A = this chain, B = another copy of it.
Amino acid sequence: MAPVDVYEAMRTTRAVRRLRSDPIPDDVLRRVLEAATWGPTGGNRQPWRVIAVRDAAKKSRLQQLYEAPWRAYSAAHREALAAAPSDVNERDARMLAAADHLASHLGEAPVILVFCFNARLMAITDSVLDRPSVVGGASVYPSVQNTLLACRAEGLGCTLTTLLCIAEPQVKELLEIPQEWGTCAFVPIGYPVGRGHGPVSRRPLETMAYADAWGEPLR
Protein backbone atom coordinates (compact mmCIF):
# COMPACT_ATOMS: atom_id res chain seq x y z
CA MET A 1 0.00 0.00 0.00
CA ALA A 2 1.50 3.31 -1.12
CA PRO A 3 1.51 6.21 1.35
CA VAL A 4 -1.31 8.73 0.83
CA ASP A 5 -0.84 12.31 1.95
CA VAL A 6 -3.31 13.14 4.70
CA TYR A 7 -4.67 16.22 2.89
CA GLU A 8 -5.10 14.22 -0.31
CA ALA A 9 -6.92 11.50 1.64
CA MET A 10 -9.32 13.98 3.25
CA ARG A 11 -9.97 15.82 -0.04
CA THR A 12 -10.91 12.62 -1.84
CA THR A 13 -12.83 10.62 0.78
CA ARG A 14 -16.32 10.77 -0.64
CA ALA A 15 -19.27 8.45 -0.23
CA VAL A 16 -18.88 5.31 -2.37
CA ARG A 17 -22.14 3.40 -2.46
CA ARG A 18 -21.60 0.83 -5.24
CA LEU A 19 -19.41 -1.91 -3.78
CA ARG A 20 -18.12 -5.22 -5.11
CA SER A 21 -18.77 -8.29 -3.01
CA ASP A 22 -15.12 -9.48 -3.15
CA PRO A 23 -13.80 -10.16 0.35
CA ILE A 24 -11.53 -7.75 2.20
CA PRO A 25 -8.28 -9.36 3.34
CA ASP A 26 -8.04 -9.71 7.13
CA ASP A 27 -4.89 -7.60 7.41
CA VAL A 28 -6.52 -4.76 5.45
CA LEU A 29 -9.60 -4.82 7.67
CA ARG A 30 -7.42 -4.83 10.78
CA ARG A 31 -5.52 -1.74 9.60
CA VAL A 32 -8.79 0.08 8.95
CA LEU A 33 -10.14 -0.80 12.39
CA GLU A 34 -6.90 0.03 14.14
CA ALA A 35 -7.08 3.51 12.59
CA ALA A 36 -10.49 3.82 14.25
CA THR A 37 -8.98 3.11 17.67
CA TRP A 38 -6.64 6.09 17.24
CA GLY A 39 -9.52 8.59 17.25
CA PRO A 40 -9.78 11.01 20.18
CA THR A 41 -12.48 10.49 22.83
CA GLY A 42 -13.50 12.49 25.90
CA GLY A 43 -11.06 11.75 28.72
CA ASN A 44 -9.57 9.04 26.43
CA ARG A 45 -12.29 6.69 27.67
CA GLN A 46 -12.93 5.19 24.20
CA PRO A 47 -16.66 4.64 24.86
CA TRP A 48 -17.27 2.87 21.55
CA ARG A 49 -16.89 -0.58 20.03
CA VAL A 50 -17.23 -1.79 16.46
CA ILE A 51 -18.69 -5.04 15.12
CA ALA A 52 -17.43 -6.11 11.70
CA VAL A 53 -20.35 -8.02 10.19
CA ARG A 54 -19.29 -10.50 7.50
CA ASP A 55 -21.87 -13.20 8.14
CA ALA A 56 -24.14 -13.40 5.07
CA ALA A 57 -27.39 -13.97 6.96
CA LYS A 58 -26.73 -11.07 9.33
CA LYS A 59 -25.81 -8.72 6.47
CA SER A 60 -28.98 -9.74 4.68
CA ARG A 61 -31.01 -8.98 7.80
CA LEU A 62 -29.35 -5.55 8.10
CA GLN A 63 -30.34 -4.85 4.49
CA GLN A 64 -33.90 -5.87 5.25
CA LEU A 65 -33.99 -3.53 8.26
CA TYR A 66 -32.51 -0.72 6.14
CA GLU A 67 -34.99 -0.84 3.29
CA ALA A 68 -38.17 0.54 4.90
CA PRO A 69 -36.59 3.62 6.55
CA TRP A 70 -34.57 4.24 3.38
CA ARG A 71 -37.72 4.25 1.25
CA ALA A 72 -39.38 6.71 3.66
CA TYR A 73 -36.33 8.97 3.77
CA SER A 74 -35.71 8.94 0.02
CA ALA A 75 -39.36 9.64 -0.81
CA ALA A 76 -39.27 12.73 1.44
CA HIS A 77 -35.94 13.77 -0.06
CA ARG A 78 -37.22 13.40 -3.63
CA GLU A 79 -40.25 15.47 -2.78
CA ALA A 80 -38.03 18.27 -1.40
CA LEU A 81 -35.84 18.06 -4.50
CA ALA A 82 -38.72 18.72 -6.87
CA ALA A 83 -38.77 22.28 -5.47
CA ALA A 84 -34.97 22.78 -5.58
CA PRO A 85 -32.91 24.56 -8.30
CA SER A 86 -32.06 22.21 -11.18
CA ASP A 87 -28.28 21.99 -10.50
CA VAL A 88 -28.90 20.93 -6.90
CA ASN A 89 -31.60 18.63 -8.18
CA GLU A 90 -29.30 16.85 -10.61
CA ARG A 91 -26.46 16.33 -8.11
CA ASP A 92 -28.84 15.08 -5.43
CA ALA A 93 -30.69 12.87 -7.89
CA ARG A 94 -27.39 11.11 -8.69
CA MET A 95 -26.74 10.71 -4.98
CA LEU A 96 -30.20 9.28 -4.42
CA ALA A 97 -29.77 6.79 -7.27
CA ALA A 98 -26.52 5.54 -5.74
CA ALA A 99 -28.15 5.38 -2.32
CA ASP A 100 -31.06 3.41 -3.78
CA HIS A 101 -28.50 0.97 -5.15
CA LEU A 102 -26.90 0.70 -1.71
CA ALA A 103 -30.26 0.03 -0.08
CA SER A 104 -30.90 -2.83 -2.52
CA HIS A 105 -27.39 -4.31 -2.19
CA LEU A 106 -26.30 -3.51 1.37
CA GLY A 107 -26.12 -7.19 2.26
CA GLU A 108 -23.68 -7.86 -0.59
CA ALA A 109 -20.98 -5.58 0.83
CA PRO A 110 -18.23 -7.85 2.15
CA VAL A 111 -18.22 -6.07 5.52
CA ILE A 112 -20.70 -3.82 7.31
CA LEU A 113 -19.16 -2.04 10.28
CA VAL A 114 -21.59 -1.34 13.12
CA PHE A 115 -20.32 1.22 15.64
CA CYS A 116 -21.75 1.11 19.17
CA PHE A 117 -21.38 3.55 22.06
CA ASN A 118 -22.05 3.66 25.78
CA ALA A 119 -23.49 6.97 26.99
CA ARG A 120 -22.64 6.13 30.60
CA LEU A 121 -18.96 6.41 29.71
CA MET A 122 -19.44 9.89 28.23
CA ALA A 123 -19.57 13.37 29.75
CA ILE A 124 -22.35 14.82 27.61
CA THR A 125 -21.90 18.53 28.30
CA ASP A 126 -24.87 19.67 26.20
CA SER A 127 -27.45 17.30 27.68
CA VAL A 128 -29.18 20.01 29.73
CA LEU A 129 -29.44 22.59 26.94
CA ASP A 130 -32.76 23.38 25.30
CA ARG A 131 -31.77 21.93 21.91
CA PRO A 132 -30.89 18.47 20.50
CA SER A 133 -27.74 17.05 22.08
CA VAL A 134 -24.82 16.12 19.81
CA VAL A 135 -21.80 16.07 22.16
CA GLY A 136 -21.84 12.30 22.76
CA GLY A 137 -20.91 12.06 19.10
CA ALA A 138 -17.58 13.78 19.83
CA SER A 139 -16.34 10.48 21.29
CA VAL A 140 -17.35 8.26 18.36
CA TYR A 141 -17.45 10.09 15.01
CA PRO A 142 -13.78 11.15 14.98
CA SER A 143 -13.03 7.41 15.08
CA VAL A 144 -15.57 6.78 12.33
CA GLN A 145 -13.89 9.46 10.21
CA ASN A 146 -10.51 7.75 10.77
CA THR A 147 -12.17 4.56 9.50
CA LEU A 148 -13.33 6.27 6.30
CA LEU A 149 -9.90 7.81 5.71
CA ALA A 150 -8.22 4.44 6.24
CA CYS A 151 -10.62 2.88 3.71
CA ARG A 152 -9.63 5.63 1.28
CA ALA A 153 -5.96 4.81 1.82
CA GLU A 154 -6.66 1.11 1.20
CA GLY A 155 -8.67 1.68 -1.98
CA LEU A 156 -11.86 0.55 -0.25
CA GLY A 157 -15.13 2.31 -0.95
CA CYS A 158 -17.35 3.16 2.01
CA THR A 159 -20.07 5.49 3.23
CA LEU A 160 -21.28 6.56 6.65
CA THR A 161 -24.97 6.07 7.40
CA THR A 162 -26.95 6.45 10.60
CA LEU A 163 -30.29 5.41 9.16
CA LEU A 164 -30.27 1.99 10.85
CA CYS A 165 -30.43 3.65 14.27
CA ILE A 166 -34.16 3.75 13.56
CA ALA A 167 -34.13 -0.05 13.81
CA GLU A 168 -31.79 -0.13 16.81
CA PRO A 169 -33.75 -2.66 18.90
CA GLN A 170 -33.68 -5.18 16.05
CA VAL A 171 -30.01 -4.51 15.27
CA LYS A 172 -29.09 -4.98 18.93
CA GLU A 173 -30.90 -8.28 19.06
CA LEU A 174 -29.27 -9.47 15.83
CA LEU A 175 -25.73 -8.63 16.96
CA GLU A 176 -26.21 -9.41 20.67
CA ILE A 177 -25.38 -5.86 21.72
CA PRO A 178 -25.75 -5.35 25.50
CA GLN A 179 -28.58 -3.27 26.87
CA GLU A 180 -26.47 -0.26 27.90
CA TRP A 181 -24.87 0.16 24.46
CA GLY A 182 -26.46 2.02 21.53
CA THR A 183 -25.68 2.05 17.80
CA CYS A 184 -24.35 5.22 16.17
CA ALA A 185 -22.87 4.48 12.74
CA PHE A 186 -23.08 1.88 10.00
CA VAL A 187 -20.31 1.74 7.39
CA PRO A 188 -20.63 -0.75 4.52
CA ILE A 189 -17.19 -1.20 2.98
CA GLY A 190 -15.85 -2.98 -0.08
CA TYR A 191 -13.84 -2.49 -3.22
CA PRO A 192 -15.63 -0.03 -5.50
CA VAL A 193 -17.58 -0.98 -8.61
CA GLY A 194 -16.64 2.30 -10.31
CA ARG A 195 -13.86 4.80 -9.78
CA GLY A 196 -14.37 4.84 -6.04
CA HIS A 197 -13.13 7.79 -4.05
CA GLY A 198 -12.41 11.11 -5.70
CA PRO A 199 -12.67 14.86 -5.10
CA VAL A 200 -15.46 15.77 -2.70
CA SER A 201 -18.06 18.36 -3.63
CA ARG A 202 -18.45 20.92 -0.85
CA ARG A 203 -19.44 24.55 -0.23
CA PRO A 204 -16.57 27.05 -0.51
CA LEU A 205 -14.61 27.79 2.67
CA GLU A 206 -15.87 31.39 2.76
CA THR A 207 -19.41 30.15 3.42
CA MET A 208 -18.34 27.79 6.22
CA ALA A 209 -15.74 29.70 8.25
CA TYR A 210 -15.97 33.07 9.97
CA ALA A 211 -13.53 35.30 11.85
CA ASP A 212 -14.14 36.34 15.46
CA ALA A 213 -17.94 36.57 15.11
CA TRP A 214 -20.74 34.87 13.20
CA GLY A 215 -20.88 35.99 9.56
CA GLU A 216 -17.61 37.94 9.63
CA PRO A 217 -15.46 36.99 6.62
CA LEU A 218 -12.22 35.17 7.29
CA ARG A 219 -9.39 37.43 6.20
Contact = CB atoms under 8 A, between A and B. Distances in A.
A45 to B, nearest CB: 10
A215 interface: yes
Best-surrounded residue of A58, A116, A123, A214 (most CB of chain B within 10 A): A214
A129 B213 contact: no
State the oligomeric state as a number of copies.
2
Contacts of A189: none
Given A44-B201, A141-B145, A145-B39, A52 B10 contact: no
A5 interface: yes
Interface residues of A, number: 103
Interface in A97-150: 116-117, 119, 122-127, 129, 131-138, 140-142, 144-146, 148-150
Contacts of A131: 119, 182
B125 A175 contact: no
Given A209-B50, A210-B49, A211-B52, A137 B132 contact: no
B52 A138 contact: no
B119 A132 contact: yes
Given A46-B202, A124-B132, 10 more contacts: A6-B6, A6-B10, A7-B35, A50-B210, A53-B212, A123-B162, A126-B184, A141-B141, A141-B145, A142-B148
